[in-house]
Amino acid sequence: MPTGATNKRKYTYVWVSTIILVFGIFAVYEITKKLKGGTIVEKDRMSIGSIQSDLGFILTNGKKRRVPTFSFLDQDSVLVSDKDYLGKVYVVEFFFTTCPTICPIMTQNLVELQDTFDEFEDFGVASFTINPRYDTPTILKKYAKKYGITDKDWHLMTGDQDEIYKLAQEGFYIAANEVDDAPGGFEHSGMFALVDKQGFIRSRYDENGNPLIYYRGTITEKQGVSKEGEPQQITMLKEDIKKLLLEEQ
């Protein structure tokens, strides 16, 4: 082969190698920039592998706390269990329809979440009544209509009171008690729990590196801060729901 042809081929190889190298460096830079900026979305998953959020797991005796098994009737008299929520990110609350204090605000906040994530088929809410003797499926259906609850994956559930209280107190470590002199006859927490697609309870970390565990559900975004000076956490909850919706597990 003539020397000129050989030199020309070598010259071509050098240019091709240079172009490949430049494009490779640029691609790595773009992926790194997106990761640092927290802007990786669905379309980027194929190029960078699975996405994991920075939300923590809640540990009990060194094991990740998973939502316990449950099975209750919802507002449509349909039997709903924990297995029906697998594959979905969902928020858990304990409430009762005749609550005269915090429940209406909690429901208002959950409707806000419903409307924010209405395009996501893998988002839901699990509401458990702590007054099942009164809160029948018919009553829960009326409550859902009153507050504009339309998400097919938002189940308002009723059943055996002891089982519901055990779920609250031992499954989520959320207070739920029948107290005669409490407003409405029941006392319960106004906190929300966040559950990932595999059924694990998740939350962000606080300034000391500990899981936040729960999200305050008794203050609206509009209100901002309670009379006691506690900040609302619905904005925070929205951000963390988005992280779990994008997370591949």
Going by the annotation, the residues of the binding site for Cu cation are: 99, 103, 188
Q: How far apart are CA 77 and CA 242, in angstroms?
A: 30
Q: How far apart are CA 227 and CA 154, in angstroms?
A: 30
Token digits of residue 120: 């996501």
Q: How far apart are CA 133 and CA 160, in angstroms?
A: 8
Which residues neighbour 163 within 8 Å (Cβ) at sequence distance 6 or greater? 70, 72
Helix ranges (DSSP H) in 72-228: 103-116, 137-147, 161-166
Q: How far apart are CA 136 and CA 108, in angstroms?
A: 21
SS3 212: coil
Binding residues: 99, 103, 188
Token digits of residue 110: 């959950």
Provide the 8-state DSSP code for 194.
E
Residue in this structure with the two tokens 């859902």, named with its chain if needed: 144
Token digits of residue 13: 């190889």
Burial class (CB in 10 A: 0-12, 13-18, 19+), 220: middle
Q: How many residues are given for the chain?
A: 249
